[in-house]
A = this chain, B = another copy of it.
């Protein structure tokens, strides 16, 4: 695995939350909290990253995450280039690296990379010059570290703490980079109990999610939880692997307001979006008073600002 830190221990890349210490995670969350602002309030103009160039390399379409990174970079005064180059480790590795070296020579200082397959962000991070940083914006089913941070930040804001809480993650855990990064953050931040809840075919392998409780029954998974994180389910997976159609999936694993009553009365409901309303989550729950879904999006910009400001040296 590519090292994320410099020789002096400072964070250089952010490819995964796995291996970050409690102190490192807490510093990132604290820094992000400083960038959180209420909607409609104009931000103080920052030029902290003036002269820095951030390249968004997204080989999977994701307007939402791309715009979140783009606005985070612009709000710190960085220049942003959006690129549609193919960066695939399936194609000849050298031509992928030629592209990266070209951008590096164009004075790109930070690469934000999203790719549907595992390995690309790490391969780029292992190859770039020492002053360049690589941020994963989603890598296969491996990791989505800024999503994990924004999930942790959202819980901390709304619950006051993470330590001691019971968190249930529900959905296609097996293929979910969101679940993996949430697990890495929350386990390190001393969550009391982490539960993964899914149809048996969508539970993770036995060597993953160490210490997490596994449930194939949603009711059992929800009982007494402080936080319920619902995942987006892909229709193909639901049918091919879980052998359920949308209506059956909703009946067995969809979060309704009735079911939510099994969790603590003030349990938080989260979702990384985009939602399949009526498949993994009922509309009234998504829009209800316990939902923190919009907070997650707002916190995403703050987290990305914090990560950019952390990896770029002054």
Alpha-carbon distance A94/B68, docked complex (angstroms)? 21
Q: Identify the stretch in A6-14, A49-57, A136-144, A233-241 within 8 Å (CB) of chain B at 4 or more residues.
A: A49-57
**What's the least CB distance linking A65 to chain B, in Å?**
10
Contact call A277/B40, Cβ cutoff below 8 A: no
One digit per residue, 1 when the CB lies within 8 angstroms of any chain B CB and 0 when it does not, for chain A 38-65 equals 0110111101001111010000000110
Contact call A51/B40, Cβ cutoff below 8 A: no
A283 nearest CB neighbor, chain B only: B94
The answer to whether the Cβ of A81 comes within 8 Å of any Cβ in the partner chain is yes
Interface residue total, chain A, C-beta cutoff 8 A: 55
**What's the least CB distance linking A63 to chain B, in Å?**
5
Contact call A71/B81, Cβ cutoff below 8 A: yes
One digit per residue, 1 when the CB lies within 8 angstroms of any chain B CB and 0 when it does not, for chain A 154-165 equals 000000000000
Contact call B71/A294, Cβ cutoff below 8 A: no
**What's the least CB distance linking A178 to chain B, in Å?**
15
In the complex, what residues of B have CB within 8 A of residue A67's CB? 55, 81, 83, 103, 106
A interface vs B, CB < 8 Å? Answer: 37, 39-40, 42-45, 47, 50-53, 55, 63-64, 67-68, 70-71, 74-75, 79, 81, 83-85, 92, 94-95, 98-99, 101-107, 109, 129-132, 273-275, 277, 283, 294-298, 300-301
